[in-house]
A and B are shown apart, each in its own frame.
Chain A
Amino acid sequence: MGSYAIKKSYTFENGVQLRSENGEIYTILQPLGRGGQGEVYKVQGADGVYALKWYHKDCLDRIDAAAFRKNLQKNVKQGVPTLSKGDVATQFIWPLQMIEPQAGSFGYLMDLFPAGYEPFKNVVMGLKKIPSTGQLIHLRWKSWFSVVTAGLNIVRAFEILHSLGLSYQDINDGGIAVNMTNGDVFICDCDNVSPDRTNLGIRGMMTFMAPEVVRGEKLPDRYTDEFSLAIILFRLFMHGHPLEGEATRDIRNDPSISDKQSEMQIYGTNPRYCLSSVNNTNPASLKYNSDVLKFGLLYPKELLDAFEQVFTLGIRENNKRLTATEWRKILLSVRDHLVLVNGYEAFFGKRYDKELPEGLRILKYKHGKEVYCMPDKILYSYHFNEFSNDFKTPVGKIIPTARKDVLGLYNASPHTIRFSMEGKEGSCPPKGKMPIMKGMEVSIDRTQFTVI
């Protein structure tokens, strides 16, 4: 049998030179891929290799291309979202330069995805195809800690973006890449980023859109970003789609309705959460959504409650969706419920009671936050300062002691830790060690906790 190949033609041949708006020349090295909006090439510039996105003319014809380009120019000028006192959303592969228009279209330049990062879709599938051989290989996370950290890196990027008054407007799994060892992420396709409640015509990808956008009642904004973000997180943690269950399968298998109509029902007019704990008419199926059911048993209840809120009440009420800031706090709590027991990671705080391992101590903060501790747990800046967003800088480590019922804490922070128990007070300077014992009151920087 003869083979048929559809030849994909790209706008530019290898070797073509393009000029940026500030006069620099970039030479096309090779095409990297194409999507609904445009094509991406690898290009050579005077100071290195970059990625170049070039829009399909027909895509620009459907929107206000002049306004879109002007907004993109503004994003290039403003640079990657940065909070002036420190945090930079380095997760975003931000537009660096505009490429001069030609033949009714234009493009922009950005950094290439660095090596060692897997496309989000592959990460969720746990599989990767080797292009040259077609062989499928399994992808494995290094740890649960890395999974939660990846979630944190994603939400922190959107937290910075949203807190600057911007919205992304097209969150989907196509533009995210993840390092499965340390949880680092990169997010590209930042070309739709606009001031919140300003939309330039892009609606997003159906399976990630908020229902009101699917129904055509609203254009994307920060609230619809928050819905899409929750879907990304659900896919990361539960390996499924929150709105797909047994009823979804019936709708898709109904020959009397078109694919378009069925998608509209599932994601737009009648979205139903597959793990809803009340009146669930679209339950995740043991046969087709087994991952979702399996992972639903694994995580702390707080995470599952958050998903339930967004995908039940939050389907209709914007206010019930979680902001990226709320997600950061929830994911930090999920990570705080993760400890090493006999060399294996385990989450605590689940829907069902689970016996606590011998020697586990809990740091209980005044507003209810709990940090489960076993030897080798690392504490980060936010553990010692309740106003810190920093979940990356280590400030302490839980260490074993000679007594099984007492843990130790190595103070890697620049602050002296003060503690007391049964009226006896003590302190632990930077680089010092202190016991972590039941009943101890601990104070550091402006934060206090009790050991239980």
Chain B
Amino acid sequence: MADTADFWKSMESELFSQFGEESLSEVVPASQIQPKTAGGRRILNIFFIIDVSGSMRGMRIGQVNYAIENIIKELRTRDDLNSVIKVAIMEFCNEATWKTPTPILIDDYVFTPIDTYPAYTCYGKAFDALEVKLHKNGFMDPALGEYFAPLIMFVSDGEPTDFNEYPVALEKLKKNKWFSKSSKYAIAVGEGAKTEKVGRILEQFTGIRENVRYADEGAGLCNLIEYIAIRASEVQTSLVSSSYGGGKEQAQSIFNEVDNSLFSSIFGNQ
């Protein structure tokens, strides 16, 4: 180490003599390089689960549309990810519908805006519709290739209206192996959703407190979704050896203390 420091020190004095002496006083190891997959491209499914109930109308669904369109375009430019990214979008209110009948390759995805409906917010319908697809005869068809654990983003602006039904659906979903292995994020949008109660319900979905984020009307949902999609997909696709059921690394969040200052937590300071 000392030799290395001397090398740069001598280099510095050669290069910067006119600027006086400073810097390069200590040698710190370079940051770690993220591990790469051994070879072959695996599929990373990214699922967006979007609340399209009446209260999302106007600016809120406008924010969601702008954010998703941009992240699809951004992920397309990141061609050195060692994965093939596919996207599926679910809209839910009284019912849950997959806007994409099957996950679509990010390069082929033609985004069309999501509409809202004068209807309730039934989390249970969304959870059921997700559970059905997290199987090999659904969106995780092994005939199409090998999969990374999916990335799931859930966006809603309020607590569920199906209080009695959603817990049953969530319990069933939690028993799904792909769901437990997946990386899950929940974003509450708008003032009305910034409650402990909504936070606790969404925490049941994500399993990790840090992965429940809050985007108020001005919080830049676009930045938040971009951050989650890019960071989480990088993390997901670098976990080569993680096995079914999830290793310890799956319990980590991409959000650290620095990010808490950038993006609000629904629970206040975490």
For B3, the closest partner residue in chain A by CB is A424
Q: Would you give the shortest CB distance from B87 to chain A, in whole angstroms?
A: 14
The total of Cβ contacts below 8 Å across the A-B interface reads 149
Q: How large is the interface on A (under 10, 10 to 19, 20 to 34, 35 or more residues)?
A: 35 or more
Chain A positions 236-295 with a Cβ under 8 Å from a chain B Cβ: none
Over the window 10-25 of chain B, the binary record of Cβ atoms lying under 8 Å from chain A Cβ atoms (1 yes, 0 no) is: 0110111111001111
CA–CA, A435 and B61, complex, Å: 48
Contact across chains for A85 and B220 when beta carbons are under 8 A apart: yes
For B218, the closest partner residue in chain A by CB is A84
B244 neighbours in A (Cβ, 8 Å): none
Contact across chains for B226 and A387 when beta carbons are under 8 A apart: yes
Stretch among B39-47, B64-72, B132-140 lining the A interface? B64-72
B69 neighbours in A (Cβ, 8 Å): 319, 323
CA–CA, A162 and B19, complex, Å: 46
Contact across chains for B63 and A165 when beta carbons are under 8 A apart: yes
B60 neighbours in A (Cβ, 8 Å): 165
Q: Cβ of B35 < 8 Å from any Cβ of A?
A: no
Q: Cβ of A195 < 8 Å from any Cβ of B?
A: yes
For B57, the closest partner residue in chain A by CB is A195
Contact across chains for B16 and A401 when beta carbons are under 8 A apart: yes
Contact across chains for B25 and A326 when beta carbons are under 8 A apart: no
Q: Would you give the shortest CB distance from A193 to chain B, in whole angstroms?
A: 11
Contact across chains for A433 and B22 when beta carbons are under 8 A apart: yes
Q: Cβ of B120 < 8 Å from any Cβ of A?
A: no
Given A323-B73, A401-B15, A426-B4 contact (CB < 8 Å): yes
CA–CA, A58 and B216, complex, Å: 39
Given A387-B226, A435-B15, A443-B23 contact (CB < 8 Å): no
Q: Cβ of A153 < 8 Å from any Cβ of B?
A: no
Q: Cβ of A222 < 8 Å from any Cβ of B?
A: yes
Residue from B15, B74, B230 in contact with A406 in the complex, judged by beta carbons closer than 8 Å: B15
Contact across chains for A425 and B12 when beta carbons are under 8 A apart: no
Contact across chains for A323 and B66 when beta carbons are under 8 A apart: yes
Contact across chains for A326 and B227 when beta carbons are under 8 A apart: no
Q: Would you give the shortest CB distance from B102 to chain A, in whole angstroms?
A: 19
A164 neighbours in B (Cβ, 8 Å): 59, 62-63, 217-218
For B1, the closest partner residue in chain A by CB is A425
B66 neighbours in A (Cβ, 8 Å): 162-163, 165, 196, 222, 323, 325
Given A163-B66, A165-B66, A195-B59, A432-B23 contact (CB < 8 Å): yes
A402 neighbours in B (Cβ, 8 Å): 14-18
Residue from A78, A83, A419, A420 in contact with B219 in the complex, judged by beta carbons closer than 8 Å: A83
For B65, the closest partner residue in chain A by CB is A196
CA–CA, A387 and B111, complex, Å: 23
A84 neighbours in B (Cβ, 8 Å): 216-220, 264
Contact across chains for A448 and B31 when beta carbons are under 8 A apart: yes
Contact across chains for A166 and B59 when beta carbons are under 8 A apart: yes
Contact across chains for A326 and B70 when beta carbons are under 8 A apart: yes
Contact across chains for B223 and A387 when beta carbons are under 8 A apart: yes
CA–CA, A222 and B65, complex, Å: 10
Q: Cβ of B30 < 8 Å from any Cβ of A?
A: yes
Q: Cβ of B239 < 8 Å from any Cβ of A?
A: no
CA–CA, A198 and B60, complex, Å: 13
CA–CA, A406 and B11, complex, Å: 11
A83 neighbours in B (Cβ, 8 Å): 218-220, 223
CA–CA, A433 and B14, complex, Å: 12
CA–CA, A434 and B27, complex, Å: 13
A408 neighbours in B (Cβ, 8 Å): 15-16
Over the window 313-336 of chain A, the binary record of Cβ atoms lying under 8 Å from chain B Cβ atoms (1 yes, 0 no) is: 000010100010110000000000
Chain B at the A interface: SS class: helix
Q: Cβ of A427 < 8 Å from any Cβ of B?
A: yes
CA–CA, A229 and B223, complex, Å: 21
B59 neighbours in A (Cβ, 8 Å): 164-166, 195-196
Residue from B17, B30, B61, B223 in contact with A418 in the complex, judged by beta carbons closer than 8 Å: B30
Q: Would you give the shortest CB distance from A74 to chain B, in whole angstroms?
A: 10
Contact across chains for A418 and B28 when beta carbons are under 8 A apart: yes
CA–CA, A87 and B14, complex, Å: 42
Q: Cβ of B257 < 8 Å from any Cβ of A?
A: no
Given A84-B219, A163-B220, A165-B58, A427-B7 contact (CB < 8 Å): no
CA–CA, A433 and B262, complex, Å: 28
Q: Cβ of B5 < 8 Å from any Cβ of A?
A: yes
CA–CA, A59 and B144, complex, Å: 58
Q: Would you give the shortest CB distance from A158 to chain B, in whole angstroms?
A: 11
CA–CA, A325 and B62, complex, Å: 15
Chain A positions 414-452 with a Cβ under 8 Å from a chain B Cβ: 416, 418-420, 424-429, 431-435, 441, 443, 448
For B112, the closest partner residue in chain A by CB is A319
Q: Would you give the shortest CB distance from A56 to chain B, in whole angstroms?
A: 28
Contact across chains for B31 and A418 when beta carbons are under 8 A apart: yes
Contact across chains for B7 and A420 when beta carbons are under 8 A apart: no
Q: Cβ of A368 < 8 Å from any Cβ of B?
A: yes
Given A165-B62, A420-B30, A434-B24 contact (CB < 8 Å): yes
A222 neighbours in B (Cβ, 8 Å): 62, 65-66
Between B19, B25, B222, the greatest number of chain A beta carbons within 10 A of the residue's beta carbon is seen for B222
A179 neighbours in B (Cβ, 8 Å): none
B252 neighbours in A (Cβ, 8 Å): none
Q: Cβ of A19 < 8 Å from any Cβ of B?
A: no
A169 neighbours in B (Cβ, 8 Å): none
For B263, the closest partner residue in chain A by CB is A85
Q: Cβ of A218 < 8 Å from any Cβ of B?
A: no
Residue from B8, B15, B70 in contact with A325 in the complex, judged by beta carbons closer than 8 Å: B70
Residue from B22, B25, B30 in contact with A443 in the complex, judged by beta carbons closer than 8 Å: B30
CA–CA, A326 and B77, complex, Å: 11
Q: Cβ of B80 < 8 Å from any Cβ of A?
A: yes
Question: What 7 pairs between A and B have smallest CB-CB spacing?
Answer: A165-B62, A432-B23, A165-B59, A196-B62, A195-B58, A401-B15, A426-B8
With A162-B66, A166-B59 known, 16 other A-B pairs at CB within 8 A are: A81-B218, A163-B221, A165-B61, A222-B66, A325-B70, A325-B74, A387-B223, A387-B227, A387-B230, A406-B15, A424-B4, A427-B28, A429-B25, A432-B23, A433-B15, A434-B12
Instruction: Offer 11 A-B interface pairs, CB within 8 angstroms, sorted by A.
Output: A83-B223, A84-B219, A85-B264, A196-B62, A222-B65, A325-B70, A427-B27, A428-B23, A432-B22, A433-B15, A433-B22
**Which residues of chain A have a CB within 8 Å of any CB of chain B?**
78, 81-85, 87, 162-167, 195-198, 222, 317, 319, 323, 325-326, 366-368, 387, 389, 399, 401-403, 406, 408, 411, 416, 418-420, 424-429, 431-435, 441, 443, 448
